[in-house]
Amino acid sequence: MSEKPFARVIVDVPQLPSLTYKCPTDVEIRVGDRCIVSLGRREVVGLVVALEDTTDISSDRQKSVQRVFKEVSPLDESWLRFTKFASDYYQHSWGEVALSNLPNFFRSKPGPRYAVSLERLRQLKTVSSKANNEVVLQLNDEQRLAVEMITKATSFVPFVLHGVTGSGKTEVYLRVIESVLSRNPDAQVLLLVPEINLTPQLEARIRSRFPGKRLVCMHSGLSNGDRARAWLAMHEKRAQILVGTRMATFASAPNLALIIIDEEHDLSYKAGDGVRYSARDLLIKRAQMLSIPIVLGSATPSLETWANVRSGRYQLLALHHRAIPTATMPILTVIDPSHEKLTHGLSQKVIQKISETLQRKEQVIVFLNRRGYAPVLTCPSCGWLSSCPHCSTYAVYHKSVGRLMCHHCGWSTPVYAHCPNCGNVDLVPLGTGTQKVEEIFQMLWPQARILRIDRDTTQKKNAAQEAFQAVHDGNVDILIGTQMVAKGHDFKNVSLVVVLNIDSQLASANPKSEERAFANLMQVAGRAGRSGLKAEIIVQSRFGDRAIFEALAKQDYELFADRVLSERREEGTSPYVFQALLLADASTIDKALQFLNDAASVGEALRKQLSADSIIIYDPIPMALMRVADRERAQLLIESTSRVQLNAFLKQWCHVLIGIRSSVHWVVDVDPSDI
Ligand code: ADP
Ligand code: ZN
Ligand code: ZN
């Protein structure tokens, strides 16, 4: 029946290469088909990646493919090549990359009602989209040029749409999508967004703009069923537009013609566990493999992306001005809090500005990147601190629920009535989180409608969407929140942004924290003054003389990025050098370090053997946050000026590491976001 007698199949097992099985005799099997194969004593879902004439396996040990899923068409060749690339690049087995990125429904063994469930998944839920009552905007010159350049590209071109906040990047995306879909009605478009909370507004806007097109979403807020439904609609070409978070990177999209990554600098695009991939980097590759254009949009592009702009590898499209002609950029004031007596942590000027803004019936955003009430609870009489028993960090005090909670491992306990060490009853919260700010603000402005948005207030389904909607609808006077409030939203009536406690980020030893602080500040500033109100941003910081504030005051990303890049180039650090981390965790730090030391010696030998001169292997060190959930963690940094050498080295090195028998758990992180 099948073209050839043997099938190469990949399965979702770490470090396992593809396996060979006999093709079934009663049904045809094709490359890209999902199937069921036996693996030891288990039966698992596999994916056929090749058909072959022969095998080395002796005939008595050959096993057959047990079932082929004919109900769904095979994954196409370009998807297979893409996942193979990701597997080679990130040093994970192909099966792990390909299968773990399928929705549950398509990678688990089918239940008895498989066919019925599948038919149900094919019935797309109809989403009522409001009639198109949006006024069609007249593009400004810079927007028009950007749209023109992108729509002209008929092969792979990586565009960087660098537009200040409020410059109308979304409108550019919509026009480009429109053009792609009008040229080919079956074309598919992928639009990646950093936050699921940004999808509802965007989704509504796109739906009303393209009423004749099918739009589907993929993000972690969906049920397994809805995710599978969206996946299948794209795979079967019934949907043309996919809006999703990082997980949409691996969606099957046989007619993919355009990729857009909004807020491309966002950290959520890098996976923090499992296959530690960068959605942005992979999608650049995917676009290249497919010969299609890709657009990276941001007001604060990542330095990696900016380096590619400066070297001419990516094409820059700039939007220098806010799109709404009356809109202005917020004016910056930095206040040194150590120069005056603060009221509940707030300077007089901040208090006065907030009151004035409220009087004008305009909205205020207060940004502070720390949720909870206080980051630590302490006993003034004996010095006890609320450490997490499982991590080398403090459990955060959450006053509203009366608990201490560890933000790293999830451990929590009712807050102690007495000091567990000396019995003292007066435990004191140290430092300030969003809950405490909320409490202070309620006290200072009892009449104001205050809303806090952070991960704690938005756990329930739709909670975030409703909260943001309340701000858009003008039912909130003061919005207090973490990064969540800084991203993307097009608030119309915000004219004051107050930033508290950016100093912990500015004082950090992490080389990337300055660029992150800068992006945070630019983004949160970007929420104010978007539709004509005179706007201000006030930052309480002891580091007012830092260069970062000069760039922020001028809203000049290029000034900041070019300076940091030239420093990096001089220092020979990322992005001018390629990096990978070997991360190890064990029951004790000694075991983890021992493993990494062994790995380093093996690596040294391999480096010589390969004559991989560009490779530097550093000494293993404990991770900054050493213990998490009772596992002690260490890391080993590898650097190279040659991407090719680094990749070849990692491949062989991992191969050897797999052979080291050890209770240590390890993983390679290529292009780590933190070192
Ligand atoms: P960004 O994503 O760049 O921060 P948005 O796409 O949210 O900006 O646009 C900011 C605001 O400008 C929106 O309210 C949008 O409707 C408006 N806008 C976009 N393009 C134009 C234009 N050409 N003329 C007038 N207003 C525009
Ligand atoms: Zn913990
Ligand atoms: Zn005590």
Question: 142 CB under 6 A from ligand 1?
Answer: no
pLDDT in tens, 302-336: 999 999 999 999 999 999 999 998 998 999 999 99
Ligand lying nearest the CA atom of residue 378: 3
Enclosing H/E stretch for 438:
helix 434-444
DSSP-based three-state secondary structure for 314: coil
Q: Provide the pLDDT for residue 126.
A: 64
* Secondary structure of 369-427 in HEC code, one letter for each residue: CCCCCECEEECCCCCCECECCCCCCECEEEHHHCEEECCCCCCEEECCCCCCCCCCCCC
Q: Looking at residues 175-194, what average pLDDT do you find?
A: 96
pLDDT of 198 over the 80 cut: no
354-361: long-range contacts at Cβ-Cβ below 8 A with a sequence spacing of 24 or more? 354/445, 354/478, 354/496, 354/498, 355/445, 357/495, 357/496, 358/445, 358/448, 358/477, 358/478, 360/495
Residue nearest to atom 9 of ligand 1 (CA): 168
Question: 425 CB under 6 A from ligand 1?
Answer: no
Question: 323 CB under 6 A from ligand 1?
Answer: yes
| CB-based neighbours (< 5 A) of ligand 2, an ion | 388, 390-391, 406, 408-409, 411
The rounded Å distance from CA 420 to ligand 3 centre is 7
Q: Provide the pLDDT for residue 496.
A: 97
- Are the C-beta atoms of residues 525 and 552 closer than 8 Å to each other? yes
**Amino acid letter, residue 368:** L
Reading the block at residue 177, the tokens are 């999508």
Reading the block at residue 398, the tokens are 């959450």
d(CA 287, CA 298): 19
Q: Provide the pLDDT for residue 106.
A: 95
Q: Provide the pLDDT for residue 128.
A: 57
Residue nearest to atom 27 of ligand 1 (CA): 323
Question: 297 CB under 6 A from ligand 1?
Answer: no
Q: Per mean pLDDT, which range of 156-170, 207-221, 581-595 is the poorest?
A: 207-221
Ligand 1 atom at minimal distance to the Cα of residue 325: 25
pLDDT of 67 over the 60 cut: yes
Return the exposure string of 347-380: e unless at least 16 CB atoms fall within 10 Å of the residue's CB, then b. beebbebbeebbeeebbbbbbbbbbbbbbbbbbe
- Are the C-beta atoms of residues 38 and 63 closer than 8 Å to each other? yes
- Are the C-beta atoms of residues 117 and 105 closer than 8 Å to each other? yes
Residue nearest to atom 26 of ligand 1 (CA): 324
Planar angle of CA 146, 148, 153, nearest 5 degrees? 100
Q: Which residue has the higher pLDDT, 531 or 281?
A: 281
Residue nearest to atom 1 of ligand 1 (CA): 166
- Are the C-beta atoms of residues 187 and 180 closer than 8 Å to each other? yes
d(CA 317, CA 320): 10
When pLDDT is cut at 50, 70 and 90, the band that residue 129 belongs to is low
Enclosing H/E stretch for 216:
strand 215-218
pLDDT in tens, 335-362: 999 999 999 999 999 999 999 999 999 9
Q: Looking at residues 293-302, what average pLDDT do you find?
A: 97
d(CA 261, CA 193): 6
Question: 577 CB under 6 A from ligand 1?
Answer: no
Question: 164 CB under 6 A from ligand 1?
Answer: no
Question: 318 CB under 6 A from ligand 1?
Answer: no
Question: 138 CB under 6 A from ligand 1?
Answer: yes
Ligand lying nearest the CA atom of residue 146: 1
pLDDT in tens, 405-459: 999 999 999 999 999 999 999 999 999 999 999 999 999 999 999 999 999 998 8
Proportion of the chain above pLDDT 70, given as a percent = 98
d(CA 654, CA 622): 20
Question: 143 CB under 6 A from ligand 1?
Answer: yes
When pLDDT is cut at 50, 70 and 90, the band that residue 648 belongs to is very high
Question: 529 CB under 6 A from ligand 1?
Answer: no
d(CA 268, CA 579): 19
Reading the block at residue 500, the tokens are 């508290």
pTM: 0.94
As a whole number, the mean pLDDT across the chain is 94
Contacts of 657 (CB under 8 A, 6+ apart): 582, 599, 602, 666
Among the listed residues 12, 19, 16, 97, the one whose alpha carbon sits nearest the alpha carbon of residue 65: 19
The rounded Å distance from CA 425 to ligand 3 centre is 8
Enclosing H/E stretch for 607:
helix 589-609
pLDDT in tens, 535-563: 999 999 999 999 999 999 999 999 999 99
The rounded Å distance from CA 429 to ligand 3 centre is 13
Reading the block at residue 446, the tokens are 């009892």
Question: 163 CB under 6 A from ligand 1?
Answer: yes
Residue nearest to atom 20 of ligand 1 (CA): 168
Q: Provide the pLDDT for residue 674.
A: 84
- Are the C-beta atoms of residues 449 and 476 closer than 8 Å to each other? yes
Ligand 1 atom at minimal distance to the Cα of residue 165: 4
Question: 169 CB under 6 A from ligand 1?
Answer: yes
